[in-house]
Structure 1
Amino acid sequence: MNWREHRGLGKTGLRVTGICVGGSPIGNMPNVYGYGVEDEQAVALVRAVLSGTFNFLDTSNGYGNGTSERRIGAAIKAHGGLPEGFVLDTKVDADPETRDFSGDRVRRSVEESFERLGIAYCPLMYFHDPEYYMTFEEAMLPGGPVEALVKLKEEGVVGNIGVAAGPIPMMLEYVKTDLFQVVLSHNRYTLVDRSAVPLMEEAIKRNVAYVNAAPYGGGILAKGLGDNARYMYREAKPQTVEAVRSIQAACARHQIPLAAAALQFSLRDPRVSSTVVGMSDASRIDETVALADHPIPAEFWTELETMVPPNEVWVG
């Protein structure tokens, strides 16, 4: 698959590139990423994205308590608006102080996002990280967050709704409602974790777009093993560490950057509509393009399949 080509995003009617720029790092969250990002750097990145190859940008109400959205909004204004055909999504989040994630909170979250981004309509709005606040059953109650999102879609405030969360069993429950047009999963379809495969298969069956985030597993599959090996921002399990070590060795033998293998593992799968790659600096754009285009022989992928750690250590 050519990641540059605009492909259909499930049944949404939207067409997106195979790479989606992730706006989480420009939320300026050093407690998560280990570094800060200044306003000027963030706005420069987004302006470069709006003028470049990718036509898909992902953010959230909660990234840096709105910092990511404010910076994207500033870049959109400086650019003179969103380019034609560019797809910007964001996510509804619980109130960071009260933890309220009611239907009323969903509406307030959308209002906050629209104000920061300087928009009056969003083509894709995700229900974000509900697992930290409620059960699936609670989310589906009358007057709850899912009903509020559905109504916002019916009112034309948002074009499509998705769910972006973690645990695969819970994500399957949301997809099976047939209320969502897109599902976004993170850290669960990578070189060392295949937890998301059942979700991917269910999504494809229902013509729900599957978006794959965090192909680098929080950095370990981009930078390799360091003094503090972490997968998904927590200490990596020994079997995962050993798998990464084996994959690094295979990459060295084939003269393939580890990050290129990690990114292309997601890009090459036809079940993946788009792959979210977090960026914090404009230099990452050309770096990501180079990784996506790096030649990788077919036999390399066959070799890597022998190195996947057992499923009991997958995130799930």
Structure 2
Amino acid sequence: MTTWQNTPGSGYYPQQQGPGYPYPNSNQQNPGYPPNQGYPPPPPQEGYNPGYPPPYTGGNPPGPGFIPPGVPPYGQVPPMAGAPIGAAQQSGMYGSNYGEDALEGEVKGFEFSDKTIRNGFIRKVYSILMCQLLITVSLIATFVYHRPTQKWVHSHQEVFWISLVMTLVLLICMACCTSVRRKPPMNFIFLFLFTLAEGIVLATAASMYEADGVLLAVGITAAVCLGLTIFAFQTKWDFTVLHGALFVAVIILLMFGILTIFIHGKIMTLVYASLGALIFSIYLVYDTQMMLGGKHKYSISPEEYIFAALNLYLDIVNIFLYILTIIGVTRN
């Protein structure tokens, strides 16, 4: 048997659970009632639905048009989470234009957040790029102007080939493995090793030319890259849609380069270097707009700052090599 006691403020509560719980006069237990946890709830009232809405506690029974408290009238939208308080005060608790104001505020906040993230991403990319260029220019200056280093590199050509193989391996690792280029500090380590190896390759190649020609190539490359970057920031043309055409152009340039190995000549080399400088100049605009995002069709994720800096660095390096080749050919 189940005995009942009167608990103040809680109704009648059983002292123990019996076979008739929670109905004392029943011989079967309610199968849908939750198990006894601590003090059980009072016996259900007749006609009371334990779900929503709560029982009506007014004086008279509710009529056909009764709306439970806390439920907005039919046709009105409850306030949106995260909406500005000023909009609620202007339009009322359930005003007709409240949802529109809140939606406009959320859209503006999203745009501001996206713009802030993109600006921070651009600053990070150019900071990494400046460090890469400083390392590369330092190695080129050492190999060109320091005679003992220049002679040592010319007598040990294996340094060039080892650096070239390291450049290709590290480039493939960073391009194909997402975790390598996204997970710090591994991404910075791989990028530093790649920049060091690529700098040695460029410095070794530049040491074959006269110092004033190398200096002229560096100056022209800096002017061209600065002008193209400003153009990419200001122009309304979307170069990100040209990824297919640029890929085809690189394949044609590669075939042309293989052809120049077997057909020697100043004109062939000059045409090849001019086409290469033109194609990678367009690539520089393309990669810059990919980094900017926004109004352009395609963009790079802000998590890919290493990949974006690597693309810009390779574009600048190729432009420098082709300009240096043009200067070397014109000077015989």
Q: TM-score range by the shorter chain?
A: under 0.3
Q: Which has the higher contact order (CA 8 A, sep 6+)?
A: 1
More helix by share: 2
More strand by share: 1
The higher radius of gyration belongs to 2
* TM-score when normalising by structure 2: 0.21
